[in-house]
Every structure is written in structure tokens, then in C-alpha cells.
Structure 1
Amino acid sequence: MTPYEELDGVLTRLAREAREILGDTYVGTYVQGSFALGAGDLHSDCDFIIATTVLPSGAAEAGLRELHDEIPTREGLWTKEMEGSYADVASLRTVDGMGVPWLFCDHGLRELIWDTHCNTPHARWILRNRGIVVDGPPIASLVDEVPPEVLRDEMRAALPTVIDDIRAWASFDVAWTQRYAVSAVCRALYTIKTAEVESKRGALAWALDHLDPKWRPLIAQAMADRDLGWDPDQPPRPGSLDETFEFAASVGQVR
């Protein structure tokens, strides 16, 4: 499934435990995100979707909350790097289901919330086109193709506010956030151009070849520094933050 045996074990156990809790409403467990795109590494979280016939409620919801409160306490790296949602098949199938909150496990947290975080066109595209089956029926039987213009419109809408949107949940005093912002802009531009979704690393590589050469040093810096990982005490490289803001502003109205 993934390059990491330990992660495969975490995913297999999650599928088994979710099936036990959900009973007849369980459909299947799938990987999307960076691992589905072939770019997952030790700096990635693991994005999952567990499909259900109906949204969890009552005893099933309570059981899932108890499960995800306990998973990060288990030994190992990947038990603390899981992020995903429990999606009912009706709202998962097409983009008409966007706006429906799914029971969501945020990265590394223990309390599930109802959120639309995973209910997006790009998550559906990854799932449909690159998703990994952990357990359950083929993904194509659950998720329809995402219309190209829906993907493009999502990224066109995101670009003008990308910096403010990131600032709402991450501090730009940390180098990781600066690198994340550069890759987020490149991923948006890639989707607008191709109507497909690429990993952060893949989008940065594409941007090196396709964007204005003036941005190559910034993009190369974001690529090279990825292996530094998350360090809350590491500030951005001198000048990189202002250049990142300029980069985002310069492409903010791309059509």
C-alpha cells in the first residue's frame, strides 16, 4: 500500500476497527493525499477516507470518537500522523455533495469534529484517480470523475486569499509555513493549468519548469528545505517570507 510497513499496519487496523464499530454501515477504507499521489514520506501525514452508507451517529459516532481519542496514544510514528473523514457514499459520489460536513480527524488530534475539510473537489479527484484501497470495493464504484472546470474554479477562488487562509491556522514566524505557502500556490497553478492534482513536491518541480524564471530560486528553496521538516523554533530564511508574499500576490488573479 505505502512505502512504510508500520503505516500499512496502522491503516489495516483502522479499517478493521472502523468496520467493527460501524457494522453494516461500513463500506470501505481508502488512502488519498500525498501517499495516494506517490509522494508521501516521513514528513507527510496520511490522509484517509472511510466510506459509510450513512453518516455516523449515536453509538457508532461515539465509538469512532473513542477510537480516535485512543489511536494517538499508541506506539509508533504513524498513529500520530493520521488525518481523514468518515464520508457517506451519497455525498461522496459527486461534487453535488460538497458542503456536507463529515466526521473529521484532524492531523494528530484526538477529538473528532464535523467539518468539510475533506469534502472538496481536489480530494475527490485524488481519491478517484490515485486513491489506494485499504479495504472495500473499487473506488470508481463510489466516486465519479470530477469535472475539470470544477477543479480549476476551486483553485482560482483559492489563489487570491491563499496567504490569509494559511495565516488563519499557521504562523508565518515558522519556516515550515513559508515553504507550505510556496507549494500551495504552485499546486493551485498546476491544477488551473492541467485540471489535475499534484503533490506538493510534484507541483514545485512543475513550477520550476513552467513559471517565470524569477521565481526559480524561491521554488528551489522550498523544495530543498522540505527535508528540514517541522520545527516550531526555526524561522524562515532571511528574505524568503517577503518573496513568498510577492509570489502569491503576483499570481493571485490567474485565470
Structure 2
Amino acid sequence: MTRSDARARAFTAYPELNLVLEHLLAGAQAALADNFVGAYLQGSFAVGDYTPYSDCDFIVVTHEDLTPGQLAALQALHKEIHRLPAPYWRNGLEGSYAPAAILRRWSTEPRDPPGAPRAEDWGDPGMSGAPPLAYPFWYLDHGSDTLVRSEHDNSQVVRWCLREKGVVLAGPDPATLVDPVSPAALKAEVRRTMDLCLAVWLEPMHLVAWQAFWVGLFCRILHTMETGTVTSKKAAMTWAEAALDPRWSGLIARARALRKGHESAGAPADPGEVEATRAFVAYAVAYADRAA
């Protein structure tokens, strides 16, 4: 099937997204040739509760890291995708090109790609300037048409979602590519994510969408701390409304009710809601430490 074939396979419930994914898959296979292992969806299209405004999170697995020629071809591919006749979804992809040996299990070694050591003051462009810790994949941020080095998808959470829930676009079962991720590993990682959020991420909160995002993220972290699994933000907020201190139920319910893409999401955040969200984050950190 060619990239121009309009009869895209039904990877998702959205025909326009399927066309974008068909273009991504065919283009990646052409650019990578024998270096291509497989292509998958993770994130909300794997764990559930996706909407017409969700990010579409993908992972393309390669035998080796990208060569300069392959990288150039993929950069051109993602610029092509941004010109497709799919107004939302052409900008809705987010994901990484991951070497199979690195994807197999999380490790801090090797930290850097061959011949490309990162200085200690390197700031991750996909993680709000976080310092180097593990191997950076070639990463496409939501809305971007350019791949950059980032550790964004080199995580236990992504591996769990891919192995346990991943949607196959092409290639072998992802369970053959990723080792099992233990509950303890997931819990340790999301607890570190809390600290990273407090250090470099917990801004901005000037819009309703961002304020609600932080509520949902910390609910999701707490759900993982309790269960050792990963679920959607919607499911995690539903759990949190019932499981957490009732004083947070209104804040959580309002965040859960917000719909991405609705005009209210772009409105200025209410200062009282921002203050309540910061208080909820402090509560969540204490809750997580008790759970640990």
C-alpha cells in the first residue's frame, strides 16, 4: 500500500488519523529499509479513553539508531505529514524512533548515542530542559514537524504501555521486544516524575487546560503508585475521586470534565483553581510517599 492510497487500514476509529498513520508507516518503512523492526501505538490509543483531540503516541522500533541519511529522510517525512489533508491529525502525532536494544529494558547505560556525548548542562528539549539521564531517542513532539534527541519516551511507563497494551501497526508482538516492567519499577519512576515536575515542569498554569492537565497527571501518578499499572488520565481521575480525600473531589471532577479542544480550555485559569491545584500537588506527593 502506498502513502497516497486513500484506503487506509483501520488502525483507529478515526479515518483521517488512519490516513496519517498509513503515511507514517509507509514512509518510515521506506526510509529505514532493513533497519525497520516495527511500528506501534502506545499512550491513550493503547490504554484507552482517547478522544478526537488526543495525542497519537507512536513508537517506531529500529535495529540500530538512525543513520544521517535515514534521519534526513524521516525529517522530510514528518514535514510531508504536516501537509496532509487531515487538519488535526497531521499535527497530532507524538512519538519516537527507538533502537531495539535500548528499548528492551530501561537503563542509564549507554547514556549517550555513539559519537554524540551530551554535556552535563544539556537540557532535554522534550522534557522542559531536564538534564541527561538515559539514552535519548529521536523524538517528535506534539505539533512539531522536526525530530530532536529526547528521553521523553525512554521510560518505564512507555515500555509498560507498549508491551501490555500496544497497538501493532506493523511488526512483531511488542511483548517480544520489551521485557516485563515490574510494578516496583513503575512506582519508582512515577515518584521521580513528581520531583521532576516540581523542579522544572510545574508551569505554566495560566490556562485552564494546563491547570487541569496537572490535576490529571498527578491523579495518574497516584493511581500507578497504588496499582503498579498504567491507565488513562480519565480512568485515574475517576479512581481518584473515589479513593482520595473528599476535599479534592470537586477539583478533580472539574478537571475530568474539561474537554481538550473546547474553547474553555484556552481560557485563563482561575487563580483559586491554580492555588487549589498546587495544594493538591503537595497532597499527592505526601500520599505517594505514604504509598511507597
Q: TM-score range by the shorter chain?
A: over 0.9
Mapped to 1, the partners of 2:265 and 2:257 lie a distance apart of: 18
* 236-245 vs 83-92, greater mean Cα deviation: 236-245
Whether the 8 Å contact between 2:96 and 2:153 is mirrored in structure 1 is yes
Mapped to 2, the partners of 1:36 and 1:131 lie a distance apart of: 5
Mapped to 2, the partners of 1:34 and 1:85 lie a distance apart of: 16
Quote the residue 2:219 is aligned against. 186
Mapped to 1, the partners of 2:83 and 2:209 lie a distance apart of: 25
The alpha-carbon deviation at position 148 of structure 1 amounts to: 1.3
Aligned equivalent of 1:47, options 42, 52, 57:
57
Aligned equivalent of 1:139, options 174, 194, 200:
174
Structure 1 counterpart of 2:51, one-letter code: D
Q: Identify the structure with the greater helix proportion.
A: 1
Identity %: 37
Mapped to 2, the partners of 1:162 and 1:195 lie a distance apart of: 20
1:60 and 2:70 correspond: yes
Quote the residue 2:147 is aligned against. 112
Mapped to 2, the partners of 1:97 and 1:183 lie a distance apart of: 28
Mapped to 1, the partners of 2:260 and 2:238 lie a distance apart of: 15
Quote the residue 2:14 is aligned against. 4
Whether the 8 Å contact between 2:56 and 2:94 is mirrored in structure 1 is yes
Aligned equivalent of 1:24, options 17, 34, 51:
34
Quote the residue 1:151 is aligned against. 186
Structure 2 counterpart of 1:18, one-letter code: A
Aligned equivalent of 2:206, options 146, 149, 173:
173
Structure 1 counterpart of 2:26, one-letter code: R
Mapped to 1, the partners of 2:233 and 2:198 lie a distance apart of: 16
How far does the alpha carbon of each residue in 1:163-215 deviate from its partner, in whole angstroms, 9 at most, with x for none? Answer: 55334xx5211110000000011011001110101111111111011111110
Aligned equivalent of 2:105, options 94, 101, 105:
94
How far does the alpha carbon of each residue in 1:60-81 deviate from its partner, in whole angstroms, 9 at most, with x for none? Answer: 1110111112211222121110
Whether the 8 Å contact between 1:176 and 1:229 is mirrored in structure 2 is no
Structure 1 counterpart of 2:147, one-letter code: L
Secondary structure of the structure 1 residue equivalent to 2:164 = helix
Structure 2 counterpart of 1:11, one-letter code: L
The alpha-carbon deviation at position 59 of structure 1 amounts to: 0.9
Aligned equivalent of 1:218, options 251, 266, 286:
251
1:196 and 2:229 correspond: yes
CA distance 1:61–1:180, shift in 2 (3 Å): same
CA distance 1:228–1:23, shift in 2 (3 Å): closer
How far does the alpha carbon of each residue in 1:27-85 deviate from its partner, in whole angstroms, 9 at most, with x for none? Answer: 11100001111111112110000000001112111101111122112221211100000
* 214-223 vs 230-239, greater mean Cα deviation: 230-239
Structure 2 counterpart of 1:91, one-letter code: I
Whether the 8 Å contact between 2:258 and 2:265 is mirrored in structure 1 is no
Structure 1 gaps of 5+ residues are none
Structure 2 gaps of 5+ residues are 1-10, 110-133
Whether the 8 Å contact between 2:60 and 2:97 is mirrored in structure 1 is yes
The alpha-carbon deviation at position 227 of structure 1 amounts to: 4.8
- 5 Å-filtered alignment, 1:75-86, equals 75-76=85-86, 77-86=88-97
Structure 1 counterpart of 2:91, one-letter code: K
Whether the 8 Å contact between 2:12 and 2:18 is mirrored in structure 1 is yes
TM-score (norm. length: structure 1): 0.94
Mapped to 2, the partners of 1:125 and 1:155 lie a distance apart of: 12
Mapped to 1, the partners of 2:261 and 2:15 lie a distance apart of: 23
